[in-house]
Chain A
Amino acid sequence: MSDRVAALRDAYGEALAELGRTNERIVVLDADLSPTTKTSIFAKEFPDRFFDVGVAEANLISVAAGLASAGKIAFASTFTVFGVEKGLNQFKQSVAYPRLNVKLVTTHGGMSVGEDGSSHFCLEDIAIMRSLPHVTVILPADAIETKAATKVIAEYNGPVFMRLSRPKTPLIYDDGYRYEGRDLDFKIGKSLTLRDGKDVTIVATGLMVAEALRAASDLVKEGIDAGVINVHTIKPLDREAILRAARGTGALVTVEEHNIIGGLGGAVAEVLVEEAPVPMVRVGIRDTYGESGPWKELFAKYGLTAANIAQAAKKVMKRKS
Chain B
Amino acid sequence: MVPFNEKKAPHDEVLVKKLNKIALSIRRDSLIMTTKACSGHPGGSLSSADILAALYFHHLRHDPQNPSWEGRDRFILSKGHGCPALYSALARAGYFPIEELWRLRKVGSILQGHPDMKRTPGVDASTGTLGQGLSIGIGMALAFKLDGRDSRVYVLLGDGELDEGQIWEAAMSASHYRIDNLTAIVDFNRQQLTGCVDRIMSLEPLADKWKAFGWQVIEIDGHKMKQILDSLDEAEKVRGKPTVIIAHTIKGKGVSLLEQSFLEGECKFHGTPLTEAELNKALEELHE
Q: Which residues of A come within 8 Å of B, CB atoms?
A: 27, 48-49, 51, 53-54, 56, 58-59, 61-72, 74, 89-90, 93-94, 97-99
Contact = CB atoms under 8 A, between A and B. Distances in A.
A89 B142 CA distance: 22
B117 interface: yes
Secondary structure type dominating chain B contacts: helix
Contacts of A70: 74, 139-140, 143-144, 147
A99 B118 contact: yes
B63 interface: no
A65 B136 contact: yes
B70 A94 contact: no
Given A27-B146, A94-B126, A74 B139 contact: yes
Contact of B138 (A66, A74, A93, A99): A66
Given A62-B135, A62-B136, A93 B172 contact: no
B143 A72 contact: yes
Contacts of B129: 89, 93
A58 B136 contact: no
A98 B70 CA distance: 18
Contacts of A49: 146
Contact of A54 (B126, B138, B172): B172
A62 B177 contact: no
Interface residues on chain B, size class: 20 to 34
27 contacts: A27-B143, A27-B146, A53-B169, A53-B173, A54-B169, A56-B172, A59-B135, A59-B138, A62-B170, A63-B135, A65-B125, A65-B135, A66-B125, A66-B139, A66-B140, A66-B143, A67-B140, A67-B143, A68-B139, A69-B117, A70-B74, A70-B139, A71-B143, A93-B132, A94-B127, A94-B136, A97-B118
Contacts of A54: 169, 172-173, 176
Contact of A94 (B132, B141, B176, B177): B132
Contacts of A71: 70, 143, 147
A67 to B, nearest CB: 4
Contacts of A48: 146
Contacts of A58: 131-132, 135, 165-166, 169
A72 B145 CA distance: 12
